[in-house]
């Protein structure tokens, strides 16, 4: 059994817990939190909740520690720190800071003989992998990534910070005509506005100026100004009834040409349709936790990404079994 610890018990931590329960070769040893452990109720029977500090003394009881904190401030500090004690997996997704994060984690992990994977999930993660494979196969081509339909937590949070907004759910929606043009191999040049639209469901405070809120949303730089955005004002009851899920997904598409006259076009598409973004992300992380555990046993230490890990390490089946049943 691979003994898993989870640090951070928000949506992602709960998603990892679900995933561990689906893998018969894994067991959840404990959930670690910066909150009062008594305030945290986990779903897996018999699993204890510990304060973060307990991680200093549990290195003999945990094979892989999954870090479920945020990329802005938690992971840059936590992942290098715990890479010196555990094999760890995180889902760091601040693209611009990946080189620095990788270097910090790599140094800590190598010094301690541990194995780590950063930026694990579906984007970055499975989408990155599919970009890489398709780029290597079709060097003369063009990449497209479409997200959604799905809930963007960052955009929902941004709207919630507007004065007069009690709650918001923001859906990112790919533009069907743009995807169609890409899938036909036409390699269109697409602006930000042509690729995705944004739809907001907003619960406003009583008496708030709805026209001002709508205008503030639509003109918010970076988040909404470059998109066509629709705003719907709804009640708290409608929010709870119709928008409680966290669906997401999207497509990575590469189209490219082969032949001495570039006469043949090929389209490679990897598409995800996910009822629960955190549970799918947690499922990817669980598979890479297995890889990290096995690579560490083979002496392959340091920081890795999905690019550095041979697919067979993700599976609990042997090479013979994989060749017989999946090749």
Chain contacts with a second copy (rule: CB under 8 A): 15, 18-19, 21-24, 43, 95, 98-99, 102, 119, 124, 126, 128-133, 135-140, 183, 185, 258-260, 263-276, 279-280, 282-284, 287, 290, 305-312, 314-315, 319-320, 322-324, 326-327
**Minimal distance in Å, beta carbon 42 to a second copy?**
11
The tokens describing 322, both together, are: 């994989």
The tokens describing 323, both together, are: 């060749």
* Nearer to a second copy among residue 59 and residue 135 (C-beta): 135
**Minimal distance in Å, beta carbon 292 to a second copy?**
13
**HSE of 127, CA atoms in CB hemisphere, 13 A:** 21
* Nearer to a second copy among residue 51 and residue 186 (C-beta): 186
* Nearer to a second copy among residue 186 and residue 212 (C-beta): 186
289 CB-near residues (< 8 Å, 6+ apart): 2, 4, 26, 64, 66, 89
**Minimal distance in Å, beta carbon 308 to a second copy?**
5
The Cα 87–Cα 289 span in angstroms is 8
Dihedral sign for Cα atoms in the order 149, 151, 154, 155: positive
* Nearer to a second copy among residue 56 and residue 244 (C-beta): 244
The tokens describing 15, both together, are: 């998603």
**Minimal distance in Å, beta carbon 224 to a second copy?**
26
List beta partners, residue 165.
204
* Nearer to a second copy among residue 84 and residue 145 (C-beta): 145
**Minimal distance in Å, beta carbon 114 to a second copy?**
19
- DSSP H or E run through 98: helix 98-112
To 10 degrees, the CA torsion angle through 107, 111, 114, 115? 30
Phi, psi of 58 (to 5 degrees): -115, 20
**Minimal distance in Å, beta carbon 269 to a second copy?**
5
* Nearer to a second copy among residue 130 and residue 172 (C-beta): 130
The Cα 134–Cα 114 span in angstroms is 31
Minimal CA–CA distance to 82: which of 152, 5, 182? 5
* Nearer to a second copy among residue 210 and residue 322 (C-beta): 322
Local structure of 29: helix, strand or coil: strand
**Minimal distance in Å, beta carbon 264 to a second copy?**
4
Residue 299 has a CB neighbour count (10 Å cut-off) of: 8
């Amino acid at each position: 059994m691979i003994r898993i610890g989870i640090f951070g018990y928000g949506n992602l931590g709960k998603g990892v817990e679900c995933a561990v329960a689906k893998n018969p070769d894994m067991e959840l040893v404990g959930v670690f939190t910066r909150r009062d452990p008594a305030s945290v109720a986990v779903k897996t029977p018999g699993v204890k909740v510990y304060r973060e500090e307990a991680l200093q003394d549990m290195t003999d009881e945990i094979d892989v520690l999954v870090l479920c904190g945020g990329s802005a401030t938690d992971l840059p500090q936590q992942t290098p720190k715990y890479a010196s004690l555990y094999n760890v997996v995180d889902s760091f997704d601040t693209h611009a800071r990946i080189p620095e994060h990788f270097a910090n984690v790599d140094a800590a992990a190598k010094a301690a003989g541990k194995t780590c994977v950063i930026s694990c999930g579906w984007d970055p993660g499975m989408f990155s992998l599919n970009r890489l494979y398709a780029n290597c196969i079709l060097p003369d081509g063009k990449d497209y990534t479409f997200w959604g339909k799905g809930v963007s937590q960052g955009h929902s949070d941004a709207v919630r910070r507007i004065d007069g907004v009690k709650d918001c759910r923001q859906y990112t929606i790919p533009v069907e005509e743009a995807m169609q043009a890409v899938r036909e191999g036409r390699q269109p040049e697409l602006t930000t506005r042509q690729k995705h639209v944004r739809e907001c469901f907003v619960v406003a405070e009583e008496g708030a100026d709805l026209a001002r809120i709508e205008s503030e949303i639509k003109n918010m730089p970076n988040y909404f100004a470059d998109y066509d955005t629709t705003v719907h004002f709804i009640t708290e009851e409608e929010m709870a009834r119709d928008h409680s899920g966290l669906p997401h997904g999207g497509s990575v598409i590469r189209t490219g040409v082969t032949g001495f006259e570039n006469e043949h076009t090929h389209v490679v598409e990897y598409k995800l349709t996910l009822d629960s973004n955190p549970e799918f992300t947690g499922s990817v992380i669980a598979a890479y936790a297995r890889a990290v555990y096995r690579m560490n046993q083979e002496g392959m230490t340091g920081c890795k990404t999905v690019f550095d890990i041979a697919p067979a390490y993700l599976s609990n089946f042997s090479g013979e079994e994989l060749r017989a049943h999946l090749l």
